[in-house]
Amino acid sequence: MNDRGMTRLLLRMPAVSALLAGGLTTLAFAPFDFWIMGVLGPMLLFLIWQKTAGPSFRSGFFYGFGLLGSGVSWLYVSIAQFGDLGWLFPLVITLGFILFISLYYGLLGWLARQFDGLSAGIKLVLIYPALWVSMEWFRGWFLTGFPWLQPGYSQLDSPLAGYAPLLGVLGVSWMVLLTAGLLSDLLTGKTGRTWRATLLLLIWLSGWWMTELEWSRPAGEPLSVALVQGNIPQAQKWLPEQLSPSLVLYANLTKKNLDRDLIIWPETAVSAFQFQVEEAFIVPLERLIRESGSNLVFGVVQMDALRDNYYNALVSLGNEERDHYYKGHLVPFTEYLPFKSLLWPLVDLFTIPMSDFAARQAPKPLMRVGDHTVGMSICYEDAFGSEM
C-alpha cells in the first residue's frame, strides 16, 4: 500500500484502527508470545498520529482500550469466580478499571499532538517513544502502579531482550517504541531512509549480540530448592473447615523435602492469620526446619492490630531469627479496593475472601540461605521489574 492509500485508510477509521492496534499488541504477550506484534501495534498508532489530523486523545484512548480490554480479562475472572458476584458487577468493575487506565493512553495521544510543529522524523523517532516511556513509568507508579502489559515485557524472546540487563524493562520498552518509530518513518518518509534503516539494524543486531553475553557468574555452592504446591482450589482455600487439612497437607509435603536447602510454599498457603496458627502449627514446624538444616518460606496473613490492617506476607524459617516480607503492590479489586473513599458503597458487595489487604512499602528484606542472599516478591509484584 502506498503512502496515499495508507493515509486514506487511517483517515477513514482512525479510532477503529487504534482499537485493533491495541488488541493486536496483546498477542505479543504470554501465552501467545508473538513478540513482533509488540512492535507493529505501536507502529500503527504512530502512523495514525502522524497521518491524521485532529485530536489524538481519542485514538490513544482506543488503543489503550484495545490493549487492556484484551489483556486484563483475568481481573474479571478473579472478581467473578472468587467473589460470587454474578457477571454484571464484575463486568462493570473491570470495564471501569480498563476505561480509567485507557485515559493514560489518551493523555499520551493528546501530548503527542502538541508537537505537530516538529518534523515527522523527530516526532516518530524521538518524541513519541520518549512520551510513551514516560507514560509507562507514570503508569507503573501512580496510585501504587499498574505496569501490566508494558512493551518491554513482550520482548522476552526477541533480540531486544539483550538490553534488559543494562536498561531494565523501561529501557527495552524504549527500544520497542524506537523501532516502531523508525519503521513508521521508513514507511512514510521520503528522505533519510538509509540512516534510519542503518540505525534500526544496529539496534537489533546489538540486542542480539547482548543476548549471547553472560551477565552474571555463579557464586557459592548450588542451592537445592523444592517448590511445594498443595493445589487447593481457590473456592475452598479460605473455608474454615479447609484450614486444618491444608496445613496437614503442606506439613507432609515439606517433610518429604527436608533434604533441600530451601522449601517454598505458595502465596497465603497458610490461609489464616498467623497468630491463629502460631503455637499449634508454626512453632513446631520451625523446630522441624531448624533441626533439618533447611529453610522454609511460606505465605500467610499477618494482622497489625494497632493500625487495624492486615498484610499479605511471607515468613522465612530456619535462621536464628525469622525474616518477614509484606506485599507492597496489591492487585486492584481482588486484594484491595481502589478509591475506597469514593467507592465505599461497593464495600458491602465485595465478598472476595481477604480482599482488603493493606500495602506495606517496607524495605525489601534479604534472606540468607546457605551462602546465598535471596530477595522476595509476591505474585503480581513480579510485574514491577525495577524492584526485582
Cell of 118: 516538529
Count how many residues are written for the chain: 388
* The residue type at 245: P
DSSP-derived pairing of the beta strands 309-317 and 295-304: antiparallel
| Half-sphere exposure (Cβ direction) of 162: Cα atoms closer than 13 Å | 16
CA separation for the pair 49, 116 (Å, rounded): 9
Is 327 considered catalytic here? yes
Q: Which of 286, 364, 379, 387 is catalytic?
A: 379
Q: Which of 51, 327, 335, 381 is catalytic?
A: 327
Give the DSSP per-residue string, 289-355.
HHHHT-EEEEEEEEEETTTTEEEEEEEEESSSS-EEEE--SPPBTTTB-TTTTTSGGGGGG--STT-
**Distances in Å between the alpha carbon of 214 and those of 177, 204, 255?**
26, 18, 37
CA separation for the pair 267, 269 (Å, rounded): 5
Phi first, then psi: what are they for 304, rounded to 5°? -115, 95
Catalytically active residues are: 267, 327, 379
